[in-house]
Amino acid sequence: MAASPVVLYNGSYEIKGGFAGNDNPSVVFKTLIAGSLGSSGTGHVLVGNEVAADRDHLEDVRCVIQEGLVTDDHDIELVWRYAYSQLGATLEDHPLLLTEALGCPFKTRQRLSQILFESMEVPALYWGFNPLLALHAYDLKTGLVVDSGYDSTSVIPINNGTMVHEAIGVLELAGKGLSSYLEHLLKKRYYSFPSWAQKYQVDQMKETLCYVSLDAIEELKKLSIEPNVVKKTFRMTDGTEIVLQKERFFCPEAMFVPSMFGSNGHPLQKLVHNAVDKCDEDLRPLLYSNIILAGGTAEFPGMKARLEQELKTSGPSQEIKVTAPEWKYAAWKGGSMLAAHDGFVKNEFLSKAAYEEYGDNALKRF
């Protein structure tokens, strides 16, 4: 298998694809499909960037992955084939490292592996868990990964390359919820976003203009004295200009005060403390000193400083170090690093021949 492995990050919000050994993916596109093939197997279907490019004229748009789970087998195959076409890669020539979300049922892995081996004819396959890959990107085997993506935020302690499952904490708030919260804040100012295209732009508004403050109350005081200090304008595609002020830091503040969003879940800092406390006492200092932020929602400006501050003021007196994302896509980067080693591909990937011989039992190695 001389061809370089393909690495695909299967995200609810975005698919990231590229070749092993690279620092960043070559293609990134929204995990979206519009249109339908219909029972006849024909029809006009848009995938990924095609959906985003035509967003102002589309309503029949669906997410292919929700809560980390594939919603439709045919749709995900279209998405994967689209990713390969964007990479200029031939399916049967490149081994594939594919990421897997926490809590993904084994039956889903079975179903998707069947598509990859039998329909798409990939020569070899490796399933990698996002938090383990993210930690590997930093050359660490032990640490605490705060993985905040589109659907939810997970805090995962990892000890010597093994997830401490009983200590994992989850907050049902991340990118999608924060976009909804920003939309709610703007509705109070009589803006409305009824169409899919407008909601897509709220996502963009959040990604480009929002930030995490060290102290929201102090930020409000500053705003009352200097109203323009945080003022930013977002221009919608219809020409409407929306001015954001306190919304810029109120939106991600919900991660630290989830009651703002109407959630009774633990704030992020409490989630971290709880996860560490459930681990062995001698492991805790290593976890606190190796906290890795991963996922798109973890990339808000100010997230690292705020989480460090909250942990230091609410937890034990010891070294706390939060590492901001050095790469925009840490889990993809970790997968790229692993798949770049010929020995890893040879020994850890499942070949199509082995799958055909042993069937689904061969998938239990992952």
% of the chain surpassing 70 pLDDT: 96
Return the structure tokens found at 177.
Answer: 């919820």
C-alpha to C-alpha distance for 284 and 318, rounded to whole angstroms? 10
Q: Is the pLDDT of residue 220 over 50?
A: yes
Quote the pLDDT of residue 50: 84
Confidence of residue 10 (pLDDT cuts 50, 70, 90): very high
Quote the pLDDT of residue 43: 61
Quote the pLDDT of residue 290: 97
Quote the pLDDT of residue 197: 86
Three-state SS for 349? coil
Domain with CATH 3.90.640.10 in the chain: 175-253
Q: Does domain 175-253 have CATH number 3.90.640.10?
A: yes
Q: Would you say 53 and 39 are in contact if contact means Cβ atoms under 8 Å apart?
A: no
Quote the pLDDT of residue 38: 46
Q: What is the mean pLDDT of residues 330-340?
A: 95
Q: pLDDT by residue (tens digit) across 29-65?
A: 999 888 865 443 456 788 888 887 776 677 678 889 9
Which CATH architecture is the domain 143-173+265-323 placed in? 2-Layer Sandwich (3.30)
Residue type, 89: A
Q: Would you say 334 and 133 are in contact if contact means Cβ atoms under 8 Å apart?
A: yes
Beta strand spans in 1-44 (E)? 6-10, 14-19, 27-30, 32-35
C-alpha to C-alpha distance for 123 and 96, rounded to whole angstroms? 8
User: Phi first, then psi: what are they for 174, rounded to 5°?
Assistant: -160, -145
Q: Is the pLDDT of residue 321 over 80?
A: yes
Could you give the angle at which helices 268-277 and 303-314 cross, rounded to 10 degrees?
60
By the 10 Å C-beta count (0-12 exposed, 13-18 middle, 19+ buried), 354 is classed as middle
- Name the CATH superfamily for 6-133+329-365: ATPase, nucleotide binding domain (3.30.420.40)
Domain with CATH 3.30.420.40 in the chain: 6-133+329-365, 143-173+265-323
3-state secondary structure string, 142-184?
A: CEEEEEECCCCEEEEEEECCEECHHHCEEECCCHHHHHHHHHH
Quote the pLDDT of residue 153: 94
Q: How much is the pTM?
A: 0.91
Lowest mean pLDDT among 48-57, 182-191, 311-320: 48-57
Quote the pLDDT of residue 40: 39
